[in-house]
Amino acid sequence: MKTAEIAQRYLDFFEKKGHTIVPSASLVTDDPALLFTVAGMVPFIPYLSGDVPAPYPSAADNQKCIRTNDIEEVGKTPRHGTFFQMLGNWSFGDYFKEGAITYAWELLTSSEEDGGLGFDPKDLWVTVYEEDDEAHDLWLKLSSLPAERIQRLGKDTNYWTTGLPGPAGPCSEIFFDRGPDYGIDGGPATDDDRYVEIWNLVFMQYEITNVRSKFEFDIVGELPAKNIDTGMGLERVAFIKQGVDNMYETDQVRPVLDKAVELSGRAYGANHEDDVRFRVVADHIRSSLMLLSDGVTPSNDGRGYILRRLMRRAIRSMRLLGVDGPSFAELFATSRDAMKAAYPIVGTDYERLSQYALAEEATFLRTLASGSEILDESVAATKAAGDAQLSGAQAFLLHDTYGFPIDLTLEIVEEAGITVDRAAFDTLMTEQRERAKADARSRKGQLADTSVYRELRAQGETVFTGYTDLETESRILGILVGGVPTDRATHGQIAEVILAETALYAESGGQVADKGVIVGPGFELEVLDVQKPVPGLVSHTVEVTTGEVGVGQPATTVVDAANRRAAAQAHSATHLVHAALRDTLGKGATQAGSLNRAGYLRFDFAWGQALSPETRSEIEEIANNAVRDDLQVTTRVMSLDEAKAAGAMALFGEKYGDTVRMVDIGGPWSRELCAGTHVASSAQVGLINLVGESSVGASNRRVEALVGLDAFRELAAERAIVSQLTSSLKSPRDQLPARIAELQANLKAAEKKIAAFEAKSLGERVPALVGTAQRAGAVSVVAQSLGQVASADDVRSVALQVRERLGSDAAVVALGAEVGGRPVVIVATNDAARAAGAKAGVLAKAAAGVLGGGGGGRDDVAQGGGADVAALPAALAGVVDALTGATA
């Protein structure tokens, strides 16, 4: 049974049972505590928690998920994958334990001919929470399971919480017994891989508080509406139904594994270590493709870092399989073919997605090449020092700074006949992970508990009137001070205010929040920010500047009209720039993020190389031509399917509801899904001035522009500068570039003459410097300051000349100088001095310590520096003293 067929059977079954079928949400969640949708329940959290009323009594879905906390287990077990699909059925106060158990048993054990999954009851086991007698008895009543195959387990496996105050409850898990060939007898309680968990039924029935850990909390009481949250692992059911040993051999994953086998020339099933690598490649390529399809791009932080890590682990595994060159072109194309039936976007958008993958592969292959050179040097230095072990710090530096995988380090080092101090490396890795975890915990701790908005959201969605009105009368529904509900806020306090209606735009879609005030009888509130803490609810962060505000009072939101007008200009200009980019570069230049505020726009787009000045000018001209043509801006509200059929562009990773707002500028020329505020016609944008273009990653570029009056002011400032230059240089505007180039050439020529004169002057001082040589222990030393010098290279040149003049007897030269306002010391030693124990690197480092800086280098020539020019005499004297002791 194919994976897609299993999913369809599941959805068909629950649709017949009256469930609303909900499409999968993006892998990119809008929950600030999560990077990705890590479980099927994530999109339903607002409904399960009661923060937002559920739009349907029951639902079913097939949700895309990414989870990387067990990434090291990928390929080693039959069930661990970073990308997986979670089938779920949900009840929001509709049915509870009896309904969930009935549905699960019926679907699993009904014959395939009747639309079920055809599992034999004798192969199924169930676990329940040890104190949940109700669930235990229902399983006995509703299924054919004998009592010995219903096991009671503790909170660590059979109790669900988010780890935060809110809903919680016991759960019941369903397992498939793979048989005695796969492990020991005894059921799921043995925690053996023989028993594969395929479905988890969560009975969300309690409200908890005072959460001290996953297993320690206080139960406040039962939820007013008990919910059902279930999750069936699609890949797990697929590998069982397809008769293979693990998820990597199912129909959506195995083709990539087979392609890796073909490219490597190695056999699958012949070597355990190679088998793990093949599975890692198959899993990570598919996961990377699915992340790319939801708008994630490789980067060094956040979601992009996870994607980059998956890709680089795949590259590393291919290398360990003997493939040193590029392989992504074939691997990703194979994954596309395996997944496009279930997710058509990976086929229709493959050209864009593959650009990111191929660019990332090329970058990392270069990293591996350079990292190999650094590692080779480290290995050589380790062996030269007579050590048999590369330091853990060096291995960690390669891993952390250069992205060089530890297992490749181990492989190369082993081939060289030495080892790595793995214990020290692991210690450094553990410290890094702990820092990351502490940082994540601190960030999570700063997130507001959204349960405080639950009762406010239950009163209905906040009505946004700002598309047509800049002032709206409403009433105060709620006030929060310090995150705690209160009935009033007084003068000087910062508070959150919730109203029934608002004309103030909440930050979203790249557009920053409106500025403005909220006024009412006896109070005025300055609006500092406007956000949506939970879907459908607008919260205004305000400072009470006059009087006192209380819940239930009438209030009027007043938008700063000038700021709104400028923000609308910037947002419409963003759409124009996007259309101009696509006109110029092609459809591959898709949006990857944006920021719009009054007078300014920033737009990120998919593109792998810098734009030429001519291309930038062309984009700017197309966008301003659209302004000149006074194109009509229209907005329409329609279903998401209608908007897509009309060709509207959606921002990848953005979450859209069933109903969307489509913004047209000039008809289909610019047609995007957008909830932002816009001008009525393109001429109202005024002017677009592209002021910057830069890289924001291997495959993303960024353009920045000023808009409207801000654009005019920038051009006026540039005009004033040009006017000043034409006046100062006494040259017409069109001749300024040539005149400035001429002056630059003259300046460079003069600088060369000055440098030659200074070098000659310094060279003439060499005989006098030689004459200052004094004994220090067993060597002659010249330790002098040259005063102010143009560059450290000049000091080095004089030091080497003096060393040459001192002959073959043991000699050390230490010259100091002030270069650009900072002290520099150059130390040079000859062969005889080094034989006597004088090392330039050691002496330069000591001198630099006196100067308040650092230094070092080779034994023959080294450099040090610092911040304290006045300490140069003491630093040079310190070199003489050090020589006296070291070479005596």
Q: What is the C-alpha to C-alpha distance for residues 859 and 839, in angstroms, rounded to an integer?
A: 5
- What is 765-886's CATH topology? Diaminopimelate Epimerase; Chain A, domain 1 (3.10.310)
pLDDT band at 163 (very low <50, low <70, confident <90, very high): confident
Residue-wise DSSP of 29-88: -S-TT-SS--STTGGGHHHHTTSS--SSSEEEEEEEEE--TTGGGTTTSSS--SEEEEEE
Q: What is the C-alpha to C-alpha distance for residues 701 and 694, in angstroms, rounded to an integer?
A: 6
pLDDT band at 884 (very low <50, low <70, confident <90, very high): confident
Cα-Cα-Cα-Cα dihedral of 798, 803, 805, 810, to 10°? 160
Ligand-binding annotation for 571, yes or no, is: yes
In this predicted structure, what is the pLDDT of residue 403?
67
DSSP state of 733: G
> Average pLDDT of 777-794?
90
Average pLDDT over the chain reads 90
Q: Which two tokens stand for residue 651?
A: 């921002």
Q: What is the C-alpha to C-alpha distance for residues 408 and 125, in angstroms, rounded to an integer?
A: 42
From the list 242, 250, 283, the residue with the least C-alpha distance to 80 is: 283
> Average pLDDT of 634-655?
80
CA-to-CA dists, residue 879 to 273, 779, 825, angstroms: 56, 12, 10
Which residue ranges make up each domain of the chain?
A: 3-244, 254-444, 450-559, 564-716, 765-886
pLDDT tens digits, 677-712: 999 999 999 999 999 999 887 678 999 999 999 999
Ligand-binding annotation for 272, yes or no, is: no
Contact 548, 489 (CB under 8 A): yes
- Regarding predicted confidence, which is higher, 250 or 640? 250
Ligand-binding annotation for 678, yes or no, is: yes
Q: In DSSP terms, which residues pair with 160 in a beta bridge? A: 169
pLDDT band at 448 (very low <50, low <70, confident <90, very high): very low
Do domains 3-244 and 765-886 share one topology? The answer is no
In this predicted structure, what is the pLDDT of residue 436?
57
> Average pLDDT of 371-387?
83
Given CATH 3.30.930.10, say whether it is the number of domain 3-244: yes
Q: What is the C-alpha to C-alpha distance for residues 285 and 86, in angstroms, rounded to an integer?
A: 19
- Regarding predicted confidence, which is higher, 589 or 526? 526
Instruction: Name the 3-class secondary structure at 752.
Output: helix
H helix or E strand, kind and range, residue 188 = none
H helix or E strand, kind and range, residue 150 = strand 150-153
Contact 685, 576 (CB under 8 A): yes
H helix or E strand, kind and range, residue 458 = helix 454-458
Percent of the chain with pLDDT over 90: 63
Give the other-Cβ count within 10 Å of 371's Cβ.
21
In this predicted structure, what is the pLDDT of residue 696?
82
H helix or E strand, kind and range, residue 167 = strand 166-177
From the list 551, 555, 471, 496, the residue with the least C-alpha distance to 520 is: 555
- Regarding predicted confidence, which is higher, 304 or 406? 304
Q: What is the C-alpha to C-alpha distance for residues 231 and 235, in angstroms, rounded to an integer?
A: 12
Pick among 2.160.10.10, 3.30.70.1290, 3.40.50.720, 3.30.980.10: CATH of 564-716: 3.30.980.10
In this predicted structure, what is the pLDDT of residue 653?
47
- Residue 385: Cβ-neighbour burial (10 angstroms; 0-12, 13-18, 19+): exposed
> Average pLDDT of 582-602?
90
Given CATH 2.40.30.130, say whether it is the number of domain 450-559: yes
Give the other-Cβ count within 10 Å of 177's Cβ.
19
H helix or E strand, kind and range, residue 677 = none
Most confident of 384-388, 583-587, 709-713: 709-713
Per-position b or e across 686-722, b if 16+ CB within 10 A of its CB: bbbbbeebeeebbbbbbbbbbbbbbbeebeeeeeeee
> Average pLDDT of 492-508?
95
pLDDT tens digits, 60-109: 999 999 998 878 889 888 778 899 999 999 999 999 999 999 999 999 99
Residues 6+ apart with CB under 8 A from 93: 54, 57, 225, 226, 227
pLDDT band at 437 (very low <50, low <70, confident <90, very high): low
In this predicted structure, what is the pLDDT of residue 698?
64
- Regarding predicted confidence, which is higher, 375 or 626? 626
pLDDT band at 386 (very low <50, low <70, confident <90, very high): confident
Ligand-binding annotation for 575, yes or no, is: yes
Residue 604 zone, left/alpha/beta (φ > 0; ψ -120 to 50; rest)? beta
pLDDT band at 760 (very low <50, low <70, confident <90, very high): confident
> Average pLDDT of 469-495?
93
> Average pLDDT of 214-237?
90
pLDDT tens digits, 516-573: 999 999 999 999 999 998 888 999 999 999 999 999 999 999 999 999 999 999 999 9
- Regarding predicted confidence, which is higher, 455 or 810? 810
Percent of the chain with pLDDT over 70: 96
pLDDT band at 460 (very low <50, low <70, confident <90, very high): confident
In this predicted structure, what is the pLDDT of residue 445?
37
Instruction: Name the 3-class secondary structure at 590.
Output: coil
pLDDT band at 664 (very low <50, low <70, confident <90, very high): very high
pLDDT band at 396 (very low <50, low <70, confident <90, very high): confident
Q: What is the C-alpha to C-alpha distance for residues 112 and 241, in angstroms, rounded to an integer?
A: 11
> Average pLDDT of 336-348?
93
In this predicted structure, what is the pLDDT of residue 869?
92
In this predicted structure, what is the pLDDT of residue 440?
44
Instruction: Name the 3-class secondary structure at 200.
Output: strand
In this predicted structure, what is the pLDDT of residue 58?
96
Residue-wise DSSP of 373-405: HHHHHHHHHHHHTT-SEE-HHHHHHHHHHH---
Altogether, the residues listed in the chain come to a count of 888
